[in-house]
Every structure is written in C-alpha cells, then in structure tokens.
Amino acid sequence: MTYQRATPDISWLLNSFNSISLDELNNKAEMLSRIDNKYIIRGDRLQQVIAEVADQFDILDIDDCRAFTYDTRYFDDPERSAYYEHHQGLRKGFKVRVRSYADAALCFLEVKVKGTRGMTVKHRLPYDPAQREALSGEAFDFIRSTYSEQYDKPFDYDLKRALDLRYKRITLVAKAGGERMTIDTALQFWSGDKTVKLSSDLFIVETKSALGRGIADLSFRKVHERPTPRCSKYCVGMAALGEVSRWNRFMPTLRKLDLVEGMQMIPTLQQLQAA
C-alpha cells in the first residue's frame, strides 16, 4: 500500500511568526507538569488558527531552519505487546523508540511509561544512530531498568524493529511563556516494503499547557475543532500498514487521517456468518 503525495507548501505557516532560539524557547516554556491535547486538522482550518495566534507565539528557528525532520524507529515484540497494551488501555503500557533529529544531528533512545494518574513519563538516553537497526545491549539495559523501576516487575519483551516514521515538525512557544504547540506535517509510515503517506493537507497538532486550556486550545475551539483522543502515531501507523489485526479503538483517528480507505479490514463474526 503506497500513497504518493506532493511535499506541502507550508510557507504560510513558517513565515507567520517571529523567531526564537532553542535556549530562549526552553527558558520560556519549561513546564514540570502539563496537559497535552492533540488535534487532527486540515490546512484551511489551521490557517484560521494561525491567523488568530500569530502575534502571541514565536517559532523555533535554528540556523534559519523552522521545519525540522524527525526520523523515528519503534520497537515491539513479535506479539505486538506495546501496541495491544495501548489498544486495551492498560495502565502499565510502554513504548520504545529511537528518534533521530536529522537537522540537529542528534539521536536518542526513548522509553515511555505511565506515571501517576495516567500521565506519560518519557526517559531518554543519547544513542548511536548506527545502531538503529537493532537495539544495543546498553539500550536493553536502559529499557529494562526504566520499566522495572516504574512498574516493579521485569521487562520480558523481545523487542525488534516494528515501524518507521518520518515527519516535519514546527514548534511554537507562547510569548508569555508556559505554553507550546507542535505542528507535524508530511507524515510517512513504513514497515518492510509497505508505505503510507498522509495527505499534505492534514496536520497533527499538539498543544502543551498547564491546564490544557491554553491560547491555542481556545483558538481551536473557535473554529469548532476538538482534541482527538487516542492519537498515537505508532498505533495509527501499525493499523494503517496492516501490522495488527485489531484497531477499533483507533478507528475515529484513522478516519480523520483519511487512512481507512485501502486498509485490509478484518471481517467481523457477523460478516463471516452472513457470507
């Protein structure tokens, strides 16, 4: 399954804000506790939001670059435990990925676990990008210790490469501080010889603020956009590529991303009986 789409023109987005450096951004938007909201939005609606907030946010600019390439490789076991534990909404789930920040020549191993009240806690370790194909011994030690310390039980998953993801990310920070917004575009998923690219008119936006009701969230409400629950890029990619057999929990997200058409649907028991 392969979708070929043109690289989007996002000059209207990149040129709408004053620039801010990475150090300035970190000083302005350092948040020890925050609530994240994710939105799936089309370009025309996003342009309305950008026009509303342009004078209240700055854009991250590093060496005259404002849209940064993220390359991420996710790891899971043959049973796809990381996926199905998330699909089932288990309180003690995990995600393991190696993320490369191509424009900054940085690479990290990242382990996500669940903290108190269901909040996601991310632990990361600098990583050699040459070892992305398979996790190193040091990586497994870090994963095991992180998981065991969080959940007080051993990590018994045999992790292998499961999914690759690439996209462009734009990062905005409120001039008043305490709030960030990331805008992801040109998303592409692949596993083996299967590839899916999202429409260039679709954006995944994540807002981060103390109470989940920041400047950006209010602007999204004005154009009648609401947060999209269960918007995991890993789970969406695995479902869209047919790497898993159940995805009903993510169906609303798959529909909003125009990924349902072309997916190989697993027939229900009623459909099999009627055939």
How far apart (Å, rounded) are the C-alpha atoms in residues 129 and 241?
25
Asked, for residue 87, whether it belongs to a domain, the answer is yes
The residue among 69, 129, 121, 123 whose CA lies nearest residue 98 is 129
pLDDT of residue 114: 83
Range from 6-15, 22-31, 203-212, 260-269 that averages highest in pLDDT: 203-212
Q: Is the dihedral of CA 207, 254, 237, 156 positive or negative?
A: positive
Domain count, the chain: 1
Lowest-pLDDT range of 7-11, 24-28, 135-139, 172-176: 7-11
Residue in this structure with the two tokens 């103390």, named with its chain if needed: 210
Residue 192 lies in a domain: yes
Q: Is residue 255 part of a domain?
A: yes
Only one residue has tokens 């854009």, namely: 59
Helices (H), the chain: 11-14, 22-28, 43-53, 81-87, 137-151, 215-222, 233-240, 251-256, 269-274
Split at pLDDT 50, 70, 90, the class of 30 is: low
pLDDT of residue 273 exceeding 50, the answer is: no
Higher pLDDT, 114 or 226: 226
In tens, the pLDDT along 60-90 reads: 999 999 999 999 999 999 999 999 998 887 7
Q: Does the residue 166 lie in any domain?
A: yes
Contact 45, 223 (CB under 8 A): yes
For residue 244, give the amino acid letter: V
**pTM value > 0.95:** no
Enclosing domain of residue 104: 11-269
- 134 φ, ψ (degrees, to nearest 5): -140, 145
153/120 Cα distance (integer angstroms): 18
Question: Would you give the end-to-end CA distance of the chain in angstroms?
Answer: 26
Amino acid 178: pLDDT: 82
Is residue 275 domain-resident?
A: no
Query: How many CA atoms does the CB half-sphere of 89 hold within 13 Å?
Result: 5
- Cβ-contact 74, 100 below 8 angstroms: no
Which of 231, 211, 227, 229 minimizes the C-alpha distance to 219?
Answer: 227
CATH number at residue 226: 3.20.100.30
Radius of gyration of the chain (CA): 19
What pLDDT score does 8 carry? 65
Of 14, 10, 23, 43, the closest CA to residue 172 belongs to 14
Q: How, if at all, do strands 18-20 and 57-60 pair? A: parallel
114 vs 170, more confident: 170
Contact 37, 207 (CB under 8 A): yes
Share of the chain above pLDDT 70, in %: 89
Amino acid of residue 243: E
Inside any domain, residue 1? no
Q: How far apart are CA 16 and CA 170, in angstroms?
A: 12
Cβ–Cβ under 8 Å, residues 36 and 207: yes
In whole angstroms, what is the distance from residue 220 CA to residue 47 CA? 11
* Residue 3 belongs to a domain: no
Q: For residue 162, tell me if it sits in a domain.
A: yes
